[in-house]
Amino acid sequence: MSYLDKITSPTLLLDEKICRANIKKMADKAARHQMKLVPHFKTAQSREIGSWAKDYGVKEITVSSIKMAEYLSRDSWENIHIAFPFNPLETGKLDEIAENQPISVQIINTQTAQILSDQLKNPVGFFIEIDAGYGRTGVEVTDFGLIEAILLIAKKSDKLNFKGFYLHPGHTYYMSDIPAIYEESRNALSMLKHKYSTEYPELVTRVGDTPGCAVMEDFGDIDEMGPGNFVFYDLMQAELGGCYKTDIAVCLAVPVVDIKKERNEILVHGGGVHLAKDVLIDEDGNKNFGEVVFLNEEGWVIPEERSHLKSISQEHGLVKASDELLAKVKVGDLLGILPVHSCMTADAMREYMTLDGNFVDHAEGISQ
């Protein structure tokens, strides 16, 4: 029986072969640059996919919430890093996890450093997150006053262990000039490393975005990389040049519920609650919420002529269909949709079906 026979409702498919190849390729790249790969599991959020990563030498992982850390700590990792400015209200939960699992957090202000120093019962590592131009979060790269105030609090604590500097140049998602952003990131981290390595000879620097980790070949003296999205990739990454569409490891299977040939439109059951609402917008303002692929027993095939979701609402997806697609499809068929942003789609679907019809866990899944 094909996996396709099991599907009656929107289902997130995962091609294990593509996913493993993506992990292997990034692990090889990290090794080639003498960097440690600490993948960000905000994308996969899966213990099983974590076990696949172990096959390629991954020993530490990154997460973006305490909830994810708790879930993934059920497996033994050398370290789990929560790459999010630590929320002091979660100090108790952090302490609980830290009893059995080496864990690190991100600190960007003295208030949080002080609360952790005052309240932690178990040792916890920390990175100082640096903002070198993205503007979302982090200590500004030249704000040595703040960096040293945080380090001073940690120095007086026997629980807070400084690990190094973390930088997420998220503007690689919005600006085309990844090499320029990376030059800035490399320089920022290198400057900090040299400034503080006498006092902290073990300190490491880490960079954390998929677009840069995928396309760059010059990482300077950065020690570690923590990309997340690369395990699945998606249309946004393909547009940024970090992958080919054939590298995308997940695809939403959606039932066809109506066809309007005269308008070249196909209505599918697949909307914002399945894909999330991330969108690519082309130069003419046309929206793309996902692209159609043909499903078969071995997985999916990208059609020659592009068809895409031109609009979505909570449950509805409206496909602008090519003639090729219209000629093949009928009501009651299943189509595949390559997602625009796979992290968000995975979080919305909370479960994966592999091409042999088995289910792979997700941290937010009902079965967990």
Distance in Å, CB of 223 to a second copy, minimum: 24
By the rule CB under 8 A, 285 interacts with a second copy:
no
Q: Which 3 state secondary structure label does DSSP give 11?
A: strand
By the rule CB under 8 A, 85 interacts with a second copy:
yes
| Single residue of 259, 309, 353, 360 touching a second copy by CB under 8 A | 259
By the rule CB under 8 A, 9 interacts with a second copy:
yes
Alpha helices by DSSP H, listed for 132-243, are: 144-155, 178-196, 210-215, 235-240
Residues numbered 286-305 forming contacts with a second copy, rule: CB under 8 A: none
Taking contact as CB under 8 A, which single stretch among the options 95-103, 207-215, 320-328, 342-350 is the one that binds a second copy? 342-350
Taking contact as CB under 8 A, which single stretch among the options 155-163, 192-200, 314-322, 353-361 is the one that binds a second copy? 314-322
Phi, psi of 75 (to 5 degrees): -100, 160
Distance in Å, CB of 269 to a second copy, minimum: 5
Is the CB of 219 or the CB of 289 nearer to a second copy?
Answer: 289
Q: Write the binding mask 123 to 142 for a second copy: x where contact by CB under 8 A, - elsewhere.
A: -------------xx-----
Residue type, 22: N
- Name the pairing type of β-strands 334-339 and 290-296: antiparallel
By the rule CB under 8 A, 361 interacts with a second copy:
no
Number of H helices, E strands in the chain: 12, 21
Length of the chain: 368
Cα 117 to Cα 99: distance, rounded to the nearest angstrom: 16
Q: Identify whether the C-beta of residue 49 lies closer than 8 Å to the C-beta of residue 231.
A: yes
By the rule CB under 8 A, 318 interacts with a second copy:
yes
37 closest CA partner among 55, 16, 60, 15 = 60
Q: Which 3 state secondary structure label does DSSP give 111?
A: helix
Report residue 99 CA to chain centroid gap. 27
Is the CB of 246 or the CB of 368 nearer to a second copy?
Answer: 368
By the rule CB under 8 A, 7 interacts with a second copy:
yes
| Single residue of 258, 298, 305, 323 touching a second copy by CB under 8 A | 258
By the rule CB under 8 A, 357 interacts with a second copy:
no
Tokens of 5: 């026979």
Question: For the residues of 47-104, what is the DSSP string, one character each?
Answer: HHHHHHHHTTT--EEEESSHHHHHHHTTS--SEEEEEEE--GGGHHHHHHHHTTS-EE
Distance in Å, CB of 135 to a second copy, minimum: 8
By the rule CB under 8 A, 92 interacts with a second copy:
yes
Report residue 147 CA to chain centroid gap. 27
By the rule CB under 8 A, 42 interacts with a second copy:
yes
Taking contact as CB under 8 A, which single stretch among the options 22-30, 48-56, 81-89, 149-157 is the one that binds a second copy? 81-89
Q: Which residues bind a second copy (CB under 8 A)?
A: 7-9, 42, 64-67, 84-90, 92-93, 108-109, 111-112, 115, 136-137, 170, 255, 257-259, 267, 269, 272-273, 276-278, 311, 313-316, 318, 330-332, 334, 343-344, 347-348, 364, 366, 368
